[in-house]
Amino acid sequence: MSVLLLFSACTGNAPETQKSKVTVAASFYPVYIFTLNLLDGIDEINVECMAEQSVGCLHDYNLTAKDARLLSDAKVLVINGAGMESFLEDAFESVENLKVVDSSENITLICNEAHHHDETDHNHHHHENSHIWLSVDNAKVQVKNIKNGLVAEFPEYEKNIEKNYEDYIARLDSLIEKRDKVFFGEEVPSVISFHGAYEYLGEDLGFRIADTIEGDEGAEPSAKELAHLVSEIKEKNIKALFVEPDYSGSAAEILSRETATKIYTINPVISGDTTLTAYEDIMEENYKIILKAVE
């Protein structure tokens, strides 16, 4: 029962896995949805989402005994790549006969400077941003990489997988058309983000992230840092403050109150239901919110 509970976060209802079924594991929600689309209608393959949704992004995730069991049962593990699953590498490298499909191949990563705030220092850390799925163009490449990996591993289902791939890419192209209607063009609005995920959205839509505020281990910016941010918001004509759905800090509310800048919740697509259109649905909603935020 506990094993089923783990997967219920990603699969909604987790039926008993039949012994005859082959398991494909996905490391977390975005690549899980991509993989579900590609294997849709292939009843002999069971797709499981490894990390529970409540973890959000995987940077701080700790592997559980259940995850290890799933890895040992799986024939294929689909990962986001781009450094997102660094915590997992030792685990999956030690599993014999596990095919790992890295969805980030051939994607140019954004190297961004995250501003980590604590009471004593304002540290700048350069790192490659692994939230690649928040660009639909990247998502298309990820889906192609996953498709190629699955076809190589399950050649008997190549026809089905290719058909599913074509259908999904057509839907993602439709999403790109909707995105391009939002693109801001010459006027590049600036926002401040409380999550490191939104740079790819910014590239896609043509807005700039003036500052990313990520507290180390939940630490909030100091009073001095908040005062600096208030000045920055006023000087740079910051249009909006972007937070993620489970943001629980107080800094965004303080900055909003001090500068009359509105807070908007942008969904980083790290949790959701199991409908095949989940990725498009969330992204389309994001576009609408962002358009409203910076117009």
pLDDT tens-place string over residues 129-180 = 999 999 999 999 999 999 999 999 999 999 999 999 999 999 999 999 999 9
Which residues is 215 bridged to in the sheet? Answer: 117
Query: Would you place residue 92 in the very low, low, confident or very high pLDDT band (cuts 50, 70, 90)?
Result: confident
Of 8, 31, 270, nearest to 150 by C-alpha is 31
Are the C-beta atoms of 293 and 262 separated by less than 8 Å? yes
Between 55 and 26, where is the model more confident? 26
pLDDT at 61: 72
Q: Mean of the per-residue pLDDT values for the chain?
A: 86
pLDDT at 59: 63
Between 276 and 65, where is the model more confident? 276
* Residue 103 in this model has a pLDDT that exceeds 50: yes
Which token pair is 95? 């599993």
Are the C-beta atoms of 157 and 205 separated by less than 8 Å? no
Q: 263-265 and 190-193: which strand pairing? A: unpaired
* Residue 5 in this model has a pLDDT that exceeds 50: no
Distance CA 243, CA 249 (A): 10
Which token pair is 28? 């977390």
Are the C-beta atoms of 185 and 206 separated by less than 8 Å? yes
Query: Would you place residue 2 in the very low, low, confident or very high pLDDT band (cuts 50, 70, 90)?
Result: very low
Which token pair is 269? 């697509």
Distance CA 151, CA 78 (A): 13
pLDDT at 64: 81
Please provide residue 76's backbone torsions phi and psi, each rounded to the nearest 5 degrees. -130, 140
Between 101 and 181, where is the model more confident? 101
Distance CA 268, CA 282 (A): 9
Of 119, 136, 96, 146, nearest to 217 by C-alpha is 119
pLDDT at 135: 97
Query: Would you place residue 113 in the very low, low, confident or very high pLDDT band (cuts 50, 70, 90)?
Result: low
Please provide residue 143's backbone torsions phi and psi, each rounded to the nearest 5 degrees. -60, -40
pLDDT at 56: 57
Query: Would you place residue 50 in the very low, low, confident or very high pLDDT band (cuts 50, 70, 90)?
Result: confident
Q: Kindly provide the residue ranges of all beta strands, DSSP E only, lying in the chain, ordered along the sequence.
A: 22-26, 45-49, 76-79, 99-102, 111-117, 122-128, 190-193, 208-215, 240-243, 263-265
Query: Would you place residue 7 in the very low, low, confident or very high pLDDT band (cuts 50, 70, 90)?
Result: very low
Query: Would you place residue 108 in the very low, low, confident or very high pLDDT band (cuts 50, 70, 90)?
Result: very high
pLDDT at 262: 97
